Amino acid sequence: MTNSTIGVGLIGTGFMGKCHALAWNAVAATFGEARRPRLVHLAEADQSLADSKAREFGFAKASGDWRAVIADPEVDVVSIAAPNPFHAEMACAAFEAGKHVWCEKPMATSRDDARRMLEAQKGSGRVAALGYNYIQNPAIRQMEALIQDGVIGTVNHVRLEMDEDFMADPDAPFVYKNGAASGYGALDDFAVHPLSILWRLAGPVSSVMTDQAKPYASREGRRVETHEIATSLLRLRSGASGLLVANRAAWGRKGRIAVQVFGSAGTIAYDQERMNEFQLFTREGDERTQGFRTVLTAPAHAPYGAFVPAPGHGLGFNDLKVIEAHELLAAIDGRPARIVDFETGFAIEETVHAMARSHDERRWVDCPA
């Protein structure tokens, strides 16, 4: 293994753009990467913001035009953290230019765009990863490993809840996210996250029966077009039954992604608001001492140990992105990697579209196989 480098470009420097930048700065020191990232070129909507962010984030070049990043021959991989409507154009251009792509979720705001991205990637032979960082949590990875090892037996039922409260205030002004142009609402904004976890823990969804609701019909006199709440019955391809609910108007919930997976020999539960622990019940052992155990993440749960050698000391949200970067680098080097590629990402988004159709047609809808 040679000690080469890899050139990084970044488009967008908001919430997730900064998160990518932090990950690119941290991944080599954390994992001792064989390929150390060089922070080559960053783009923002205007040159002045780009300059200032490049300085903060440690990128060598800055442009007010994202095409400059993609055209830069020193850039090998492009982080796309621009607003969702731009993802398709940027990603397709990047693949055409022979770059690898690390794109924030969702892939696109339309199925056609997403499909176009998937095809562009397939034709390019380049690696693509979507920003489903929650699955990188050592807790989630450990839960997945335990399920695969049969520790809770055959999974027969799942429950997924994602809740935040940034849309909970009925007196808040009308914003972009209340308009139809932003998508369905909680369904695409939130549901994709628990679905990405579900995919790892229990596999794909086969059919859905969904209901969407608006807690507040209007804001500032304008009709709210999105649904802040989505509830869905699920049937998984495995036959397991399930529930998913997403709510952007859930007062008091700040970053809740609650997962319960029930099997024939035990149960696993998790809540993203306490991301450094999970709950495990197995039926074995003395009946008098059975109970859900709270497992704190630890070096025993890879790749926790790359961050802290002591157990129970806690990773943070941004650390998950560092793990994602590490996995992406592995994929680029042709090693096995734990990423959500465009194929899986597309399937997740297809599931969300099926949910929206189910709501409209008030019936069970099958998800594309």
Q: Quick check: 288 binds a second copy (CB under 8 A)?
A: yes
State the minimum distance, in angstroms, from the CB of residue 363 to a second copy: 7
Whether residue 158 contacts residue 201, with contact meaning beta carbons closer than 8 Å, is answered with yes
Longest Cα–Cα distance of the chain, Å, equals 66
Contacting range for a second copy; rule: CB under 8 A; set: 75-83, 97-105, 229-237, 343-351: 229-237
Tokens of 23: 């990950």
Q: Give least dist CB 243 to a second copy, A.
A: 5
Report the alpha-carbon distance of residue 338 to residue 12 in Å, rounded: 24
Q: Cβ distance 353 to 346 under 8 Å?
A: no
Select from 71, 179, 238, 282 the one that contacts a second copy (CB under 8 A).
282
Two tokens at 28? 């080599």
Closest distance of CB 127 from a second copy, Å:
23
**287 part of the interface to a second copy, by CB under 8 A:** yes
Residue 170 makes contact with a second copy by CB under 8 A: yes
Residue 257, classed as helix, strand or coil, is: strand
Restricted to residues 13-52, the positions that interact with a second copy (CB under 8 A) are 15, 18-19, 21-22, 25-26, 28-30, 32-33, 36, 52
Query: By C-beta, is 73 or 252 nearer to a second copy?
Result: 252
Nearer to a second copy, 10 or 114 (CB): 10
Residues 46, 92, 84, CA angle at the centre, nearest 5°?
A: 55
Helix (H, G, I), strand (E, B) or coil at 15: helix
Cα end-to-end span (Å), the chain: 39
CB 101 within 8 A of CB 77: yes
Q: Which residues contact 47 (CB under 8 A, 6 or more apart)?
A: 62, 63, 64
Q: Which is nearer to a second copy, 130 or 143 (CB)?
A: 143
SS3 33: coil
- Ranges within 186-225 binding a second copy (CB under 8 A): 209, 211, 213, 215-216
104 to 143: interface string for a second copy, x by CB under 8 A: --------------------------------------x-
How many residues bind to a second copy according to rule CB under 8 A? Answer: 103
H/E run at residue 345:
helix 342-361
Q: Is residue 260 within 8 Å of residue 244, measured between CB atoms?
A: no
Decide: is 340 part of the binding site for a second copy (CB under 8 A).
no
Whole-number minimum distance, CB 98 to a second copy, in Å? 27
Among 4, 47, 148, 318, binds a second copy (CB under 8 A): 318
Nearer to a second copy, 142 or 182 (CB): 142
